[in-house]
Chain A
């Protein structure tokens, strides 16, 4: 079953062991959540696990917000 945006954020936050206060689709990983590059990298690993697929490198730099990550999740899980 595809997660809702809030469930998606909660699941990712749980996996990463962090709190995400007031998550929104335009919440930036780097600017709002203050993720450094390794945190972003781990976020992508979690995202891949939720989707069950590996993310192509070319897409990596296109994901900066929770909404963009959720969009990728929806496409992958929705098409599975």
Chain B
């Protein structure tokens, strides 16, 4: 059955099962709730963040925040963040936080692919780095996937949920994105007729 191509192909932030959108001021209260509830980038953990300083902290070092949403309800289910961008050396870092009930499924992979695709399309980055914990490898499953090289592992670097865990630095090059991931993304951005139940 042929796939129907549509305008979604032209929108790098729209996938099949989720969409990304830029962060807006109305999202801050939701993000603060997530931060208070533990759904936070690892950099923030251990640091008290009050509501007054939350926005500043959120944007400190950030290049872009993209809210991950369910496409039909527009319900936010996570946040994809690009930070630590260096345009001279042409790299940045990314991380993703997701509400617990969608972790371990396929759609977080979709969010990561869309976010990375957006960054490579929009900016002249050579490499995109990710800093993930050994715990997250289990949560996302895909954190170290094809095309991602492990650049380093900091043993017992973080104290998360009462346990020491490693921090793993992974990277994806522009060439690898172009050769290995873009075909998947092109397929991802084709549409099908309906969602079944």
| Interfacial residues, chain A to chain B (CB-CB below 8 A) | 36-42, 44-46, 48-57, 60-61, 76
Contacts and interface: CB of A to CB of B under 8 A. Distances in A.
22 contacts: A36-B145, A37-B140, A38-B142, A38-B146, A40-B106, A41-B110, A48-B192, A49-B187, A50-B1, A51-B192, A52-B193, A53-B195, A53-B196, A54-B17, A54-B192, A54-B194, A54-B196, A56-B195, A56-B197, A57-B105, A60-B106, A61-B104
Contacts of A44: 106
Given A36-B146, A41-B142, A49-B192, A54 B184 contact: no
B145 A38 contact: yes
Contacts of B41: none
Secondary structure type dominating chain B contacts = loop
Contacts of B142: 36-38, 41
Contacts of A52: 1, 192-194
B141 to A, nearest CB: 5
Contacts, number: 72
Given A49-B3, A49-B190, A37 B141 contact: yes
A42 B184 CA distance: 6
B145 A48 contact: no
Contacts of B74: none
Secondary structure type dominating chain A contacts = helix
B35 interface: no
Interface of B: 1, 3, 16-17, 102, 104-107, 109-110, 113, 140-142, 145-146, 181, 184, 187-188, 190, 192-197
A60 B16 contact: no
A57 B193 contact: no
B184 A76 contact: no
Given A45-B187, A48-B16, A57 B102 contact: yes
Nearest to A49: B3
A53 B145 contact: no
